[in-house]
């Protein structure tokens, strides 16, 4: 690769890392082209991208970003998975793919500047998706409002029942 190509790759990667919410490093050695293509296709569906870049170029590109702390893990054949949307979905895809394909080994990740171990990435994959969490929050909020309306409606209803009981007692 000539110098101008390297500079272009570093520049593009640096720009992508600025927009990345979650980055995961994975060892892909032993995987064939079909497996890598399958993984890339699955990751695209979750607003993520998998790149295989030379470690030195990734070190240079990650400077002045939240991902500069990955430098010490950049050894051997690595792929970087960058996520630009919901951070749970790509981890589910990656962990699921790693279970089916022993050749893929998740090394480390970074989420909002915090280093994630392999176990923490797996824990992140076990979380429900953003849409499910928002749905649960919405149902809780609606449930509280419905209960509040029922409590408020019960006060005049109870008053009417007391008056009816008092009326019935007076008639007897």
Question: What is the residue-wise DSSP string for 1-20?
Answer: --HHHHHHHHHHHHHHHHH-
What are the b/e assignments for 11-48, b being 16+ CB within 10 Å? eebbebbeebbbbbbbbbeebeeebbeebbebbeebeb
**Structural domains counted in the chain:** 2
pLDDT in tens, the chain (172 residues): 788 888 888 889 888 888 888 899 999 888 889 999 999 998 888 888 998 888 888 888 888 888 888 888 888 889 999 988 888 888 999 999 999 988 889 999 998 888 888 899 898 888 887 788 889 888 888 888 888 888 888 888 888 899 899 889 988 7
Instruction: Give yes or no: residues 115 and 141 share one domain.
Output: no
Instruction: Give yes or no: residues 107 and 141 share one domain.
Output: no
At 127 the pLDDT is 86
Instruction: Give yes or no: residues 37 and 81 share one domain.
Output: yes
Q: How close are the terminal C-alpha atoms of the chain, in Å?
A: 102
What is the token pair recorded at 27?
């060892």
Instruction: Give yes or no: residues 94 and 166 share one domain.
Output: no
Which residue segment(s) compose the domain that 133 sits in?
A: 129-172
At 81 the pLDDT is 92
At 17 the pLDDT is 86
Instruction: Give yes or no: residues 8 and 67 share one domain.
Output: yes
At 30 the pLDDT is 85
Instruction: Give yes or no: residues 36 and 21 share one domain.
Output: yes
Instruction: Give yes or no: residues 73 and 118 share one domain.
Output: yes
At 24 the pLDDT is 92
At 67 the pLDDT is 84
Burial classification of residue 144, based on how many CB atoms lie within 10 Å of its CB (0-12 exposed, 13-18 middle, 19 or more buried)? exposed
State residue 26 phi and psi, 5-degree precision.
-140, 140
What is the token pair recorded at 42?
């699955």
The pTM (predicted TM-score) of the whole model is: 0.73
Instruction: Give yes or no: residues 90 and 148 share one domain.
Output: no
Instruction: Give yes or no: residues 170 and 112 share one domain.
Output: no
At 25 the pLDDT is 92
């Amino acid at each position: 690769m000539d110098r101008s190509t390297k500079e272009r790759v570093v520049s593009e990667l640096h720009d992508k890392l600025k927009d990345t919410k979650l980055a995961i490093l994975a060892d892909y050695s032993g995987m064939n082209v079909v497996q890598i293509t399958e993984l890339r296709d699955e990751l695209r569906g979750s607003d993520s991208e998998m790149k295989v870049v030379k470690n030195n170029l990734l070190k240079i590109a990650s400077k002045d970003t939240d991902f500069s702390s990955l430098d010490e893990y950049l050894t051997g054949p690595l792929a970087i998975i960058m996520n630009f949307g919901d951070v749970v979905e790509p981890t589910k895809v990656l962990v699921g793919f790693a279970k089916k394909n022993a050749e893929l080994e998740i090394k480390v990740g970074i989420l909002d500047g915090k280093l994630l171990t392999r176990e923490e990435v797996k824990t992140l994959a076990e979380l429900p998706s953003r849409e499910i969490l928002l749905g649960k929050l919405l149902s809780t909020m609606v449930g509280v409002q419905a209960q509040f309306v029922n409590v408020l409606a019960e006060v005049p209803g109870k008053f009417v029942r007391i008056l009816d009981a008092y009326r019935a007692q007076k008639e007897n």
